[in-house]
Structure 1
Amino acid sequence: MNKKPKSSSSKISREEVNRRRILDSARKLFIEHGGVEGVNMHQIAKTAGVGQASLYRRYTEIGDICIEIVREECQPLFDEVQAYLDQSPEVAPLDRLYQVIVRFVAFLEAKIPWLCAVSRASSGHRPLQSPLYQWMRNTCRDLLNEAVERGEVSKVDVPYTVEALMATLHNIDFHMKNQGFLTERILQGVYRIFIEGLKDDSGAKTTR
């Protein structure tokens, strides 16, 4: 009896199994090494139990793997923040901005140091271009623009202010690990500079 040709759905399923093995194995190695340094494509393929040819057909370099892992790891944060913003339209924009920052810092703190390092590697070490920071940049920019529209802040260069905030948050793992700054201290500093420091005294007041 002639064998029936395998359906395209089974091929897709097999590819998805390999993709899942690769990402799970890479995540495991990144956690073990505290980041991307010391991990290479050969190790990932060996740990995943797939051939290097199969690995390179899907990912041309380790940065491509990092991008997918960052997106998967950060999706719960994206969903949590979006749910908060959807439920809090009446809250002042600067207050919402601060709450987004609080959630962002708490999320990274739970995954330091490995996810911060993987996030940086996902953009080829170009500062602040990873999926995580692109999302954070857009979210903060929208909230600051809303604050300007509502008259909560005035005379502020929104794009530059957002980039300054991103630069502060980008190295948060170094601030926590190498400099020993506690989360509360970091958040207090960010609040003074980027929330209180932006308020228009004649406009609406924000509360923490």
Structure 2
Amino acid sequence: MKDKITLESPKIPREGVNRRRILEAARELFIEQGVENVNMHQIAKAAGVGQATLYRRYPLKGDICLEIVSEECQPLFDEVQAYLGQSKDVIPLEQLYQVIVSYVSFLESKVPWLCAVSRASTGHRPLHSPLCQWMRTTCRYLYSEASAKGDISDVDIVYTVEALLATLHNIDFHLKDEELSTKQILKGICRLYIDGLKASKSG
């Protein structure tokens, strides 16, 4: 039986070892102290790498945040992709609602640290984080499918998706500071962005 590869194993290139150390150290610090309270010096020290090594790979703290968000969110991306592939007989608006449920449930389990890291991953453009970009693409696609099937009409899909993302963007604030329940949040989102857009079948 082969020995398990560890971070110290010579089978892993040094660059890969340093990357893993940096990301794991940053993740722990962000969870413990909050992303805004952690600087690059602390990350380098916790990772056991020189600052030159850190800055050579990650010139900005936001670059570290970007990779952490991409890694952390991959299970969500895979889950939703699998769901959409297995639910082709479900109407697009119902698919969209289930995607939103998965999104909210995923973030709820990682509030507040991942939300803060996601916002920091793109500096002053928080709605362009990997998580928001993925959600934007997914929602636009499902709204377009709903429109093509006549389930929604006279809806500005691009703006509606941006409004939905703005709502979801502050999920940690809604859960922690406003003390809203997940049920309240999902019910409100469903009313505004699902049921409220359905095309009238009368007439």
- TM-score, normalization: structure 2? 0.93
The 5-angstrom pairing of residues 64-143 of structure 1 reads 64-143=63-142
The Cα of 1:125 is off from its aligned counterpart by 2.9
Q: Tell me, yes or no, if the aligned pair for 2:140 and 2:161 is still in contact at 8 Å.
A: yes
Identity of matched residues, %? 69
Q: Structure 2: give runs of 5+ residues left out of the alignment.
A: 1-9
AA in 2 matched with 1:160: Y
Q: What's the counterpart of residue 28 of structure 2?
A: 28
The Cα of 1:201 is off from its aligned counterpart by 2.1
Q: Structure 1: give runs of 5+ residues left out of the alignment.
A: 1-9, 204-208
- Separation (CA, whole Å) in 2 of partners of 1:169 and 1:158: 16
Q: Tell me, yes or no, if the aligned pair for 2:118 and 2:126 is still in contact at 8 Å.
A: no
Higher relative contact order (CA 8 A, sep 6+): 1
- Separation (CA, whole Å) in 1 of partners of 2:151 and 2:114: 34
- Separation (CA, whole Å) in 2 of partners of 1:133 and 1:125: 14
- Separation (CA, whole Å) in 1 of partners of 2:87 and 2:63: 35
AA in 1 matched with 2:165: M
Aligned residue for 1:37, secondary structure, equals: helix
The Cα of 1:97 is off from its aligned counterpart by 0.2
4+ residue stretches of structure 1 with deviation over 2 A? none
Q: What's the counterpart of residue 160 of structure 2?
A: 161
Q: For the aligned residues, what is the CA RMSD?
A: 1.3
- Separation (CA, whole Å) in 2 of partners of 1:48 and 1:59: 13
- The count of corresponding residues between Structure 1 and Structure 2 is 193
The Cα of 1:127 is off from its aligned counterpart by 3.1
The Cα of 1:12 is off from its aligned counterpart by 7.1
Q: What's the counterpart of residue 206 of structure 1?
A: none
AA in 1 matched with 2:36: E
Summarize deviations over 1:90-134 as a string: whole Å, max 9, x none. Answer: 100000000000000000000000000000000103131100000
Summarize deviations over 1:119-175 as a string: whole Å, max 9, x none. Answer: 000010313110000000100000000000011110000000000100000001001
AA in 2 matched with 1:174: F
- Separation (CA, whole Å) in 2 of partners of 1:125 and 1:178: 22
Aligned residue for 2:13, secondary structure, equals: helix
- Separation (CA, whole Å) in 2 of partners of 1:31 and 1:157: 38
Q: What's the counterpart of residue 19 of structure 2?
A: 19
1:189 paired with 2:184, answer no
Q: Tell me, yes or no, if the aligned pair for 2:120 and 2:126 is still in contact at 8 Å.
A: no
- TM-score, normalization: structure 1? 0.91
AA in 2 matched with 1:44: I
